[in-house]
Amino acid sequence: MVLSGTVDPCDPINCINDGAIPGHVINTFCWITSTFTLPHQQGKPVGTHVVHPGVGTIGDHEKETRYHAYYQWVPFMLFFQGVLFYIPHWIWKNWEEGKIRMISEGIRGAMISSKDERKDKQTRLVQYIIDTMHLHNMYAAGYFLCEALNFVNVIGNIYFIDLFLGGAFMTYGTDVVRFSNMDQENRTDPMVAIFPRLTKCTFYKFGASGIPTFQHKLLIERVPVRTQSQSYVER
């Protein structure tokens, strides 16, 4: 909700345009068709060899372009993850039916009763647990089931995010740590490679004779920083 609410759905990217074509036309086109970077341009000095990591001339590496089509689906992906994590919670709340709240009433949180009254309630609770030992096996089974679902959910989401990011999530954390320990003059930021701030888009135009021409547009992505923060949370 935070990510979706802070990104303007009408202006998620900003194209660097010469003004020949209305900006909103190119922005909409490139947002729908997805933008790309060039892996062979990663790691080159910025300002002398490339404009930005992953942004440069295509040359003979047209087939090596890396498309970043997942930005459009980030809010939906986060909503889907939220639903997956809420399901075990919902199952447990319906299974548990407030038993813990009922038996611990008056001995947890802010206390307004006397010390002796609280001690008496604690004694009765302990006696209740002793008297009903092994009578709540189904209750315990439900608890362990929900914990197992949480574990499976976490592992499944790790692989899901890795698939969503094109196989770049599994090593993302270690790559960031390795990057922070490298020489500043000779290192490639993995965060920029996976969540680029500047990308390219191919926009086709047709002349009066019907011959197509194309232009490579640079686009400033407005989603990556927030998506990057989400990836830190997931890791």
Model confidence band, residue 150 (pLDDT cutoffs 50, 70, 90): very high
pLDDT, tens digit (0-9, with 9 covering 90-100), for 154-184: 999 999 999 888 888 888 888 888 888 877 7
36-40, 79-83, 206-210: least confidently modelled range: 206-210
Closest C-alpha to 173, from 122, 223, 211, 228: 228
Q: Where are the domains of the chain?
A: 1-70+167-235, 75-164
Per-residue pLDDT, 112: 58
pLDDT of residue 32: 82
| CA 131 – CA 134 distance, rounded (Å) | 9
User: What integer best gives the mean pLDDT of the chain?
Assistant: 76
**pLDDT for residue 105:** 74
Q: Please, what is the Cα angle at 155 between 152 and 157, to 5 degrees?
A: 105
C-alpha–C-alpha distance, residues 202 and 32, integer Å: 12
**Measured on CA atoms in the order 208, 209, 215, 219, is the torsion positive or negative?**
positive
- Say what the pLDDT of residue 79 is: 92
- Residue 91 CB-density burial (10 A; 0-12 exposed, 13-18 middle, 19+ buried): middle
- Please compute the mean of the pLDDT values over residues 73-89 and round it to a whole number: 91
Nearest-angstrom CA–CA distance, 83 and 75: 12
Whole-number Å distance between alpha carbons of 162 and 105: 44
Amino acid identity for residue 206 in this structure? F
In this prediction, residue 186 carries a pLDDT of 67
Answering whether pTM is above 0.75, one says no
